Chain A
């Protein structure tokens, strides 16, 4: 057993920090894209839009059945081809691993967020819809001002728990050789041979961030335990 030497961290820290920033940026981007798209997916199913609703259901079932790593590979391969057909002469447009990661995580998380929002939509009291009708709100205003804000509020603990899982899942961009927190640590470990220290530090950083975030979600859940229920 070699003795541990954490002084190596002083040199490694700036690089690890940039990796952590990338992980956080990816989480934030996937959260925004995933929530916007997921809300659209949920509404499409809620309104039973013909054909589109079936396609969306199929997409969600598919995405939720296959591993994220395989999804990353799929998009890494497919996105350049699709872009080529959309904007070029059919020749694939390479977009690089970073953009692939952002697009993949956004589209992947949309499937998970949309399920949460869809269940949330069903949880809204029927009286809310009737009240909106009585106030002569248009369908758009009904959902924008009344329904969706309640759904987000009630579902916020679950949405945030899913976001913590998303943050942990961003470590899988390792398979695209990107420099997120784990990627930075593994590249440094290959240079300085200190892989024990590197991976332990990464584990501690993830543990600290995720458990702090879980504590916040838990207190949020307790706070909403009685105000969130409306029966």
Chain B
């Protein structure tokens, strides 16, 4: 059934090469997008918990804007609208970027900054889950605001939220498919292209589905490994900020034993 994938295409490759190239773009978007999201998300998440009202309000504004606009609309804003509202010379320079990169960079920014808003909420939940004594002990030791965040609060909060971050990892690789709407030939787009070229729709979509399933499994397992490596002994994970589970109401210990529950 998968035989069609090894047939020659019009451009001398095999169809499976199209799929693999799509997989490459999907992975590149998810990987680099994740680091943008993580970096921005941690900063914004910290911003939401600081005393300074202006910083906290700005961080909240960021989260509200990026979480409440659909990722597809954000994609169009980066791709179509940004070059138009920048000064003409800069906008034209952006439009001159050659094809794959011209879609890749807007998609990367879009996914990174969108996911950052979601990570920020998880980071905030992690920080708020820490006992107040941690901050007090840090200031009793003479650590200032920056040092106590740097050495006491953030490292512990990040270790608490690894399980919730799993769903964000799953989210970002699934959302890479939205990049096809601005012309990036990632995995879903390649599957559709193969289906249109060969009329073997079942094979084309089936192969893409299997690849996504494998990615989900890999992402889930590696996050489990990370969680096991960094979990604070004796702690319970912070509540998922975006899709709070009913962990409050479930008896401790029975909460979320089964894998797919944290996967969105």
- Point out residues on A near B: beta carbons under 8 Å: 1-2, 60-62, 64-70, 73-74, 77, 112, 115, 119-120, 122-123, 154-155, 157-158, 161-162, 168-169, 171-172, 174-175, 182, 186, 195-196, 199-200, 202-203, 206-207, 210-211, 214, 228-231
With both chains docked as a complex, state the minimum distance between the C-beta of B187 and any C-beta of chain A, in angstroms: 8
Q: List 12 A-B contacts (CB under 8 A).
A: A60-B260, A65-B174, A66-B209, A120-B246, A154-B246, A161-B242, A161-B243, A169-B70, A182-B73, A200-B77, A203-B73, A229-B249
B137 at the interface (CB under 8 A from A): no
With both chains docked as a complex, state the minimum distance between the C-beta of A158 and any C-beta of chain B, in angstroms: 6
CA of A182 to CA of B71 in the docked complex: distance in angstroms? 12
Instruction: Report whether A69 and B180 are in contact in the complex, using a CB–CB cutoff of 8 Å.
Output: yes
For A65, A172, A207, the residue with the greatest tally of chain B CB atoms inside 10 Å of its CB is A65
CB-defined contacts of A210 to chain B, threshold 8 Å: 67-69
CA of A66 to CA of B254 in the docked complex: distance in angstroms? 28
CA of A77 to CA of B209 in the docked complex: distance in angstroms? 14
CB-defined contacts of B181 to chain A, threshold 8 Å: 174-175
CB-defined contacts of A196 to chain B, threshold 8 Å: 80-81, 84-85
- Point out residues on B near A: beta carbons under 8 Å: 64-65, 67-74, 76-77, 80-81, 84-88, 91, 170, 174-178, 180-181, 188, 191-192, 195, 201-202, 205, 208-209, 212-213, 215-216, 242-246, 248-250, 254, 256, 260-261, 263-264
CB-defined contacts of A202 to chain B, threshold 8 Å: 73
CB-defined contacts of B242 to chain A, threshold 8 Å: 161
| Chain A, residue nearest B167 (CB) | A64
CA of A178 to CA of B4 in the docked complex: distance in angstroms? 31
Task: Describe B's contact surface by its main secondary structure.
Answer: helix
Instruction: Report whether B245 and A1 are in contact in the complex, using a CB–CB cutoff of 8 Å.
Output: no
Instruction: Report whether A162 and B69 are in contact in the complex, using a CB–CB cutoff of 8 Å.
Output: no
CB-defined contacts of B174 to chain A, threshold 8 Å: 65-68
Contact of B263 among A64, A70, A207 (CB under 8 A): A64
Instruction: Report whether A70 and B205 are in contact in the complex, using a CB–CB cutoff of 8 Å.
Output: yes
CA of A77 to CA of B208 in the docked complex: distance in angstroms? 15
CB-defined contacts of A169 to chain B, threshold 8 Å: 70
Instruction: Report whether B246 and A65 are in contact in the complex, using a CB–CB cutoff of 8 Å.
Output: no
Instruction: Report whether B246 and A61 are in contact in the complex, using a CB–CB cutoff of 8 Å.
Output: no
With both chains docked as a complex, state the minimum distance between the C-beta of A196 and any C-beta of chain B, in angstroms: 5
CA of A230 to CA of B250 in the docked complex: distance in angstroms? 10
Q: A61-B260, A122-B254, A207-B65 are in contact. List 17 more A-B contacts (CB 8 A).
A: A1-B88, A64-B263, A65-B212, A66-B209, A77-B201, A77-B202, A119-B256, A122-B246, A168-B68, A175-B180, A182-B70, A182-B76, A195-B84, A196-B80, A199-B81, A203-B73, A229-B248
| A73 and B64 in contact, given A115-B260, A206-B73 (Cβ under 8 angstroms) | no
Instruction: Report whether B73 and A119 are in contact in the complex, using a CB–CB cutoff of 8 Å.
Output: no
With both chains docked as a complex, state the minimum distance between the C-beta of A39 and any C-beta of chain B, in angstroms: 15
Instruction: Report whether A182 and B243 are in contact in the complex, using a CB–CB cutoff of 8 Å.
Output: no
Instruction: Report whether A70 and B188 are in contact in the complex, using a CB–CB cutoff of 8 Å.
Output: yes
With both chains docked as a complex, state the minimum distance between the C-beta of B54 and any C-beta of chain A, in angstroms: 20
CB-defined contacts of B81 to chain A, threshold 8 Å: 195-196, 199-200
With both chains docked as a complex, state the minimum distance between the C-beta of B58 and any C-beta of chain A, in angstroms: 16
CB-defined contacts of A186 to chain B, threshold 8 Å: 76
CB-defined contacts of A175 to chain B, threshold 8 Å: 180-181
With both chains docked as a complex, state the minimum distance between the C-beta of A221 and any C-beta of chain B, in angstroms: 8
| Chain A, residue nearest B212 (CB) | A66
Contact of B216 among A65, A174, A214 (CB under 8 A): A65
